[in-house]
Structure 1
Amino acid sequence: MAKTSLSTGSFLSSPKLDVVIDTGNPFLNLTVDGFLKIGSVAVAKVAVEETYHCLSKGSISQKNFEHTLKKMCKEGVYWGSVAGLYVGMEYGMERIRGTRDWKNAMLGGALTGALVSAASSSNRDKIVTDAIAGGAIATGALFLNYLT
């Protein structure tokens, strides 16, 4: 079941759109939510980038349009998958540890960074550095979220 609500957000008084997908499982709910939200950000990013490129060239063709649609789908799925994986890992850490704190974000980010890196590379050093980066980014984002 999907539920949509529109409310006023706090950042520059912009509207906030929440879409809730209820699968009956909290883990799946969070994972799907992360996939949809971040995937849609990636789709919007590509749409804006490609619009800029078309405007700077002064033309658009059917081939360019098809390329843009494919790129939007590819980026949306990739970003959404990484976000869904991260949200699931963070939730899993919370359930395993029995507490909700910044360490869940750090561990979830590290595991996500390592898994995404391992899927595309067998270089151990790259996997470790990507795990460190994932943990740092997730922890930093959480701390920034506390500031707002």
Structure 2
Amino acid sequence: MSTSHQATPGSQADYRDATARSATGASPLASGLALFAGIVMIIAGIFQAVAGLVALFQNELYVVGVTYVFSFDVTAWGWIHLLVGALVAVAGGAVLMGHLWGRVIGIGLASLSMIANFLFVPYYPIWSLLIIALDVAVIWALCSYDREAARR
């Protein structure tokens, strides 16, 4: 009778493999940053999509006191926020699943979201600045996440 040392989920060998990975330098911070970025991207994407829907259906909620050079119609802003929000949420799901393309697209979409919300500041300043701050945190988390360290 020979014994097999294959790691099955929940087995003692699986526990030893996980312990060995953490002893070799797998950073809990690395996987924690990816989890943080993915969750924040999904939540911020949903919030941004909702803001876009509000701009489409209740556009009198957003009032502009001063005209700016980069002003658009509120309906146009609604479509922009709805599209960017949906894409950010999908990329956040890809980040949570560990896809490299999710990280790359996530950085680009978070940057695009920052620009869109900067241009949206005259319409809804506190909301826009909050989303910009979340986008900065997401970009930082996605750029500092080391996929190789998380695999060890």
TM over 0.5: no
Answer 1 or 2: higher relative contact order, Cα 8 Å, separation at least 6: 2
TM-score by structure 2 length?
Answer: 0.30
* Bigger-Rg structure (1/2): 2
TM-score by structure 1 length?
Answer: 0.30
